[in-house]
Every structure is written in C-alpha cells, then in structure tokens.
C-alpha cells in the first residue's frame, strides 16, 4: 500500500481528532475548503478556524475578486480586497479557488450598460481577464472563468455578454484566462447543474462549446446551494459528476456547498436531515476520483449569504452562528474518516523506518439513528491529552477523549456534538 504524506500524517493522529481537510486529504481529495470574505476576518475566533489548515485546505474569496471590485471603472484595477484573502491563504498554506471573471452579476454598470460592438466587448473581456489573472498568476489553484451562464431550462442567460457576443464570450474568456496563467485550472461554475435535467445537459454542452472553439477547460464547478430535505440523492449526484468527466473535463468540484432551512428555527430532526443531505454530497465526491474537493460557502451560519437573499431562511452551514459544529459537520467528518481509514486498514504499509501493520479496529463504523448516518469510532485516545480548542469531546457515536486541555471546557452543543470551548 502506498502511503501519501497526508495519510502518513493522519495515521500519526487519532483519526477522531483529525479535522475536515486533513480527513479529505487522507481520503484522496485535494482539499476541503470554505469561502470567506474580508469583513469576517476581523473576528478572531472566525479567523482562527478559517486559518486552520487541518480544517480547511482551500479558501475562495466570496466577493473581492469580482469585476465590480477589480475593475470598477474601465481600465482602473483594484485588488485590495482579493489580495487580503489570497495573501491570507498563502500565509496559511492553503489553496485558492479564484472567483470569478465573467458573470452577469456584480458587474459594474460601465460594462453592463454600455453599447458595445463585438470587437469592443471582446477586448473588454480580454483586458479584464488578462489584467486580473496576471495579477494573481501562480496564486490561484483554479479560476471560475465563467459563472452562471445558464437559465434553469438550459437556455443561455441574457446578459450584456450574451446579447453582444452570443455564446462566443465563453471560449473568448477561457482563452484569455489560459493565456494569462497557463497553470491555473479553468472552470465553468454554476448552480442547479448538480443533478440531471436540462441545466445539467446544457452545462455539458458548454464543455463541448469551449473545446470545439479550441480553448481549454479543466473543470466544472457545481455550486451546490441546496435545501434541507430536497437535496439531490447520492446516485444522481454521482452520475452527474461522472457525466462532466465523460464530456471531457479532468476535474469536477463542489464549489459553494450549503444546505439551507427554508423555515427557522431548525429542529433537531431538521439537523439530522441536513446531515444526511450533506452526506450525499460528500459521498458523491468520494465516489468520483476526478472530484478534487468540496468548498462550503462559508463555514458558519454567522456569515452565510442566505438570510440576506432568502428572508427567513438559513442555518445552511456546518457551523452554527456561535462557531459550534452541527451534526452535519460530524457526519461529513465521519464519512471522510471512513474513506480515509478504509484505504489504511487491513494492509501493510512501508514507511522509511519500518514496516507497520495497520490494525483494522481503527475503523469500526457505528450506525446511528438512521441507516444513512455513520460515525467512526477510533481506538480510544488517552484522556490525559484532552482536546484542543474547538476539538470534539463528546456526542452520540463519539469514542475520543471527553476532556479538554486547559483552559477549555467540554461543552455540549447538541446530542451529537460536544466541543472544547
Ligand atoms: O456570497 C456572496 C454574497 O456575499 C454576495 O452578496 C452575493 C452577490 O450576488 O454573491 C454571493 O456569492 C455568490 C457567488 O459569487 C456565485 N454563486 C452564488 C453565490 C451566492 O449568491
């Protein structure tokens, strides 16, 4: 068995203590990440969690790289907001999914309200992309080159880009991005393309459109803004991921995952349904090798975009407004841990120093209240160590340490989760 650095690191830890990104890496993914935004970084508790590379290996700037901010008037470029987040990721050692270059929304009116010829708008797109992608050259793991070009019925969305250039604006944008940073992975990114239907079929068509024009597309980003209880099932999610790969991209990713409640406050049963909905997405990504990672659209309900867009809705993230992990966090981490340990158990691994046999008891799976939720029980960790700040210290299915390092106290958040706070 081949031991990756991530897996080797994980094996040195009790698995139950490992966090989301560490587990995702050990399960063979590139990252588990979160969106963030500039104003949130002044909250020190928030900053500590988003900067923890065991928890998040990737960051997406939620706003700062959008056209509205980066080229607010023609030829005037500003990267202050985007830089703050990219610099943070770099200091932390995290990947960045750069977001986003050509989008009908958050587009300054000098672009959207202009009367352009095809040559003028082509040049405006090329100039914008050349400038922004060059500014971030070498710092972006990927770029969402074109965002949300489709309507729900699979037709193209009306925008200044489509009105003036038809579908040509899409390959024009991909070509410009590839020229400015050949190493960045170039994505088409959209919502409601995660499950089968007209919009998914049209997104497959976009891959073909770009490739037929002779441009490069590396990936499809599936935003995954879902609703608790009506999220797509795992089989459909998996088949759709595979369909994009079959259509010719080398990778896919869930790029903006959140699963919201349409009525608040949420109930304990609602949290279990949410956990099960998050489980389907996690398992779909694990089932497809080309799915490189999952990004949640901010990790805490405190800073989620949802309440300001959908009045009365929310509760969509893995952490609640007080930075406590919800049952969905436990479920996602358990599924990732199961995937990580299933690679590690029962085999013999060769390290530089010695040959070690992995003991299968490290990965006992315990079935919880419903069959779709599983939790990993690891070999008990010596309680003398205790949990660090924010570590899990109890909850149904938990077999790790139940004490916390000083000065933290094991605090019950819900039946499924206690945390060192
Ligand atoms: O999270 C972003 C929020 O702060 C902005 O107000 C909003 C404006 O449209 O955009 C949000 O992010 C969007 C992302 O860029 C593209 N997909 C949908 C996201 C949620 O609206």
Average pLDDT of span 301-328: 98
Are residues 300 and 323 in contact, defined by beta-carbon separation less than 8 angstroms?
Answer: yes
The DSSP code sequence of 141-166 is SEEEEEE--B-TTSSBPP-HHHHHHG
Instruction: Indicate which residue's Cα is closest to atom 4 of ligand 1.
Output: 305
Instruction: Indicate which residue's Cα is closest to atom 20 of ligand 1.
Output: 305
Q: What percent of the chain has pLDDT over 70?
A: 81
Give the whole-angstrom CA distance, residue 275 versus residue 72. 40
For ligand 1, which residues put their CB under 6 angstroms from it?
Answer: 62-63, 105-106, 147, 223, 256, 305
Instruction: Indicate which residue's Cα is closest to atom 8 of ligand 1.
Output: 106
Give the whole-angstrom CA distance, residue 19 versus residue 332. 10
Q: Tell me the average pLDDT of the chain.
A: 86
- Report which secondary-structure segment, H or E, holds 89: helix 80-92
Least confident span in 138-142, 245-249, 410-414: 410-414
CA of 368 to the centre of ligand 1 (A): 35
The vertex-420 CA angle with 305 and 298, nearest 5°, equals 15
* Residue 2 buriedness (CB in 10 A; 0-12 / 13-18 / 19+): exposed
Closest CA to 156 of 145, 171, 170, 144: 170
**pLDDT tens digits, residue range 173-224?**
999 999 999 999 999 999 999 999 999 999 999 999 999 999 999 999 999 9
CA of 233 to the centre of ligand 1 (A): 25
**Residue 411 confidence (pLDDT):** 74
Give the whole-angstrom CA distance, residue 59 versus residue 85. 8
Domains located in the chain, CATH noted: 20-342 (3.20.20.80), 391-420 (no CATH)
CA of 360 to the centre of ligand 1 (A): 44
**pLDDT tens digits, residue range 337-388?**
999 987 554 332 222 222 222 222 222 222 222 222 222 223 333 335 677 6
**Residue 397 confidence (pLDDT):** 56
Which atom of ligand 1 approaches the CA of 191 most closely?
17
CA of 13 to the centre of ligand 1 (A): 36
- Tell me the two tokens of residue 169: 């604006």
- For a mutational test of ligand 1's pocket, the pick from 61, 62, 106, i.e. the residue with the most ligand atoms closer than 8 A to its C-beta, is 62
Residues constituting the chain: 421
**Residue 396 confidence (pLDDT):** 56
Average pLDDT of span 20-30: 97
**pLDDT tens digits, residue range 44-77?**
999 999 999 999 999 999 999 999 999 999 999 9
- Tell me the two tokens of residue 196: 């089968």
Which residues are catalytically annotated? 148, 256
- Tell me the two tokens of residue 161: 């880009």
- What predicted TM-score, i.e. pTM, was given to this entire model? 0.82
**Residue 368 confidence (pLDDT):** 25
Give the whole-angstrom CA distance, residue 328 versus residue 337. 14
Q: From the CB of residue 5, how many other CB atoms can be counted at a distance below 10 Å?
A: 9
Give the whole-angstrom CA distance, residue 153 versus residue 189. 16
Query: C-alpha 228: how far from its chain's center?
Result: 18
- For a mutational test of ligand 1's pocket, the pick from 157, 256, 304, i.e. the residue with the most ligand atoms closer than 8 A to its C-beta, is 256
Closest CA to 155 of 89, 206, 113, 107: 206
Task: Output DSSP code: residue 314.
Answer: B
The DSSP code sequence of 168-224 is GHHHHHHHHHHHH-TTSEEEEEESS-SSSSHHHHHHHHHHHHHHHTT----EEEE--
**Residue 404 confidence (pLDDT):** 86
């Amino acid at each position: 068995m081949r031991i990756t650095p991530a897996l080797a690191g994980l094996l040195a830890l009790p698995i139950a203590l490992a966090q989301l990104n560490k587990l995702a890496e050990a399960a063979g993914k590139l990252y588990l990440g979160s969106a963030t935004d500039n104003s949130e970084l002044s909250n020190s508790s928030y900053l500590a969690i988003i900067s923890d590379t065991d928890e998040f290996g990737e960051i997406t700037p939620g706003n700062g790289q959008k056209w509205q901010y980066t080229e607010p008037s023609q030829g005037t470029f500003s990267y202050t907001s985007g830089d703050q987040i990219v610099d943070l990721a770099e200091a932390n050692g995290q990947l960045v999914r750069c977001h986003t270059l050509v989008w009908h929304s958050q587009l300054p009116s000098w672009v959207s309200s202009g009367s352009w010829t095809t040559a003028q708008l082509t040049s405006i797109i090329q100039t914008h992309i050349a400038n922004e992608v060059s500014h971030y050259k070498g710092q972006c793991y990927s770029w969402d080159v074109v965002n949300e070009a489709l309507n729900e019925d699979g037709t193209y969305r009306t925008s200044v880009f489509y009105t003036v250039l038809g579908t040509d604006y899409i390959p024009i944008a991909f070509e410009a991005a590839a020229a400015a940073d050949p190493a960045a992975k170039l994505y088409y990114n959209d919502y409601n393309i995660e499950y089968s239907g007209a919009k998914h079929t049209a997104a497959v068509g976009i891959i073909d459109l770009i490739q037929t024009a002779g441009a490069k597309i590396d990936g499809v980003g599936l935003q995954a803004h879902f609703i608790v209880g009506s999220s797509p099932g795992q089989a459909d999610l998996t088949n759709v991921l595979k369909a994009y790969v079959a259509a010719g991209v080398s990778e896919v990713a869930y790029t903006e995952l959140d699963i919201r409640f349409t009525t608040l406050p949420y109930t304990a049963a609602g949290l279990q349904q949410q956990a099960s909905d998050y489980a389907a997405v996690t398992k779909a990504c694990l089932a497809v090798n080309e799915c490189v990672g999952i990004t949640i659209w901010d990790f805490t309900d405190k800073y989620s975009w949802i309440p300001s867009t959908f009045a009365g809705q929310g509760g969509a993230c893995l952490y609640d407004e007080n930075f406590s992990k919800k049952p969905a966090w436990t479920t996602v981490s358990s599924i990732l841990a199961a995937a990580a340990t299933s690679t590690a158990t029962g085999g013999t691994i060769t390290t530089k120093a010695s040959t070690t046999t992995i003991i299968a008891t490290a990965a006992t799976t315990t079935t919880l209240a419903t069959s779709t939720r599983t939790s990993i029980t690891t070999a008990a960790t010596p309680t003398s160590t205790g949990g660090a700040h924010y570590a899990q210290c109890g909850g149904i299915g938990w077999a790790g340490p139940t004490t916390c390092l000083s000065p933290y106290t094991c605090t019950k958040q819900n039946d499924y989760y206690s945390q060192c706070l």
